[in-house]
Amino acid sequence: MEIKKKLFGILSNGKKVKLYTLKAGGIEFSLINYGAAWTSLIVPSRNGVHDDVLLGYSGFEGFVNDAQFFGVTVGRFANRIKGASFSLNGKTYRLKANDGENNLHSGPYGFDKMLWKSEAYEENEGVYVRFETESRDGDCGFPGKLNAIVSYGLTKSNEIIADYQAKVEVPCPVNLTNHAYFNLAGERNGSILSHEVILHSSSYVEIDDKCIPTGKILSVKDSPFDFLNRRRIDANFGTLNGYDHCFAVDGEPGKLRPCADVFEPCSGRTMKVFTTQPGVQFYTGNHINSGGKQGSHYVKHSGFCLETQHFPDTPNQSGFPSCIAGPGKDYNEKAVFAFSW
């Protein structure tokens, strides 16, 4: 196992952005402390070819100007909040509308635009980076001072471990995730539509034309949302432009359990995802149009996301599993991404 650290860039205020590269098993995994972002993930194929399977940018400026959320840690609340507002304990909180009338990923200055404190360490059978940030009372419109600690690690068993923790002084919605875009064929090797997917979800969150939940949790049976058996991503698109939907993960929230299984037939790479969270947002890169690494350009369906999280708009949906953290109720969630080839 190995940990390397070097300077990645300098912000306009003079603060330094660090790049960490972790090596364990057969994988090399790189992260930066700006946005606590995943920058690259180099995984072998069945034929021994090593490809970077994460969409992103080669240099510092790309991440500073990023509008696609490539690989970043999202918070305080991942996904959408209807009307960019919510009410809690009799008070209404106004957020920044950055997705039409709605709030997406906490607005334009969420955790993805923060410089996190960071520290690399080795523990048991893995190498890790611990990121920490403090969010002031009123930050992005949310109540209470919040302290977040996010640890990402790579094990000898070729697993990425993601651990999310937060403490907040007053009751507040909290929903943290990582927004990595994957292409298991390699980040510049075309569309992800031929990837084969299993989602361990018997139901999904119904949404309107603005991607806001209606409040209904529907069965995936006999619908384009049925990934209980392995199939190509585009096998049942029908009238869909692709997927940008939250699936309810089968099993008990709070317990680590299977979430997804993705196979790329040309490379032989497989990624299995496990989560403690109630849901996973499956996004097939429907609106990607961005410069990428080493002069490449990413377009629609160049990558997919599996964002383990609470359901969208949970602060406004009393029927969804609660996302409220506060005194006596810290936020603790975990995800695992296991690779084979």
By annotation, the residues acting in catalysis are 179, 307
Asked if residue 295 lies in contact with residue 323, where contact means CB atoms within 8 angstroms, the answer is no
Q: What is the DSSP letter of 268?
A: T
φ/ψ (deg, to 5) at 82: -60, 135
For residues 239 and 207, give the distance between their C-alpha atoms in angstroms, rounded to a whole number: 15
Q: Which residues pair with 51 in a beta bridge?
A: 43
CA-based torsion, 332, 32, 303, 215: positive or negative: positive
| Token reading at 26 | 């057969």
Contact 324, 173 (CB under 8 A): yes
CB 331, CB 166: distance < 8 Å: yes
| The residue to which tokens 């359990």 are assigned | 257
Encoded amino acid at 293, one letter? K
> Residue 85, Cβ neighbours under 10 Å: how many?
17
Instruction: Report the alpha-carbon distance of residue 26 to residue 84 in Å, rounded.
Output: 43
Q: Which class for 332: exposed (0-12), middle (13-18), buried (19 or more C-beta within 10 A)?
A: middle
C-alpha to C-alpha distance for 73 and 9, rounded to whole angstroms: 18
CB 331 within 8 A of CB 174: yes
The token pair that represents 98 in the structure block = 């950055």
* DSSP assignment string, 87-147: EETTEEEE----BTTBEETTSTTSGGGSB-EEEEEEETTEEEEEEEEEE-TTGGG--S-EE
Residue 326: Cβ within 10 Å count: 20
- Give the span between the Cα atoms of 29 and 214, in whole angstroms: 38
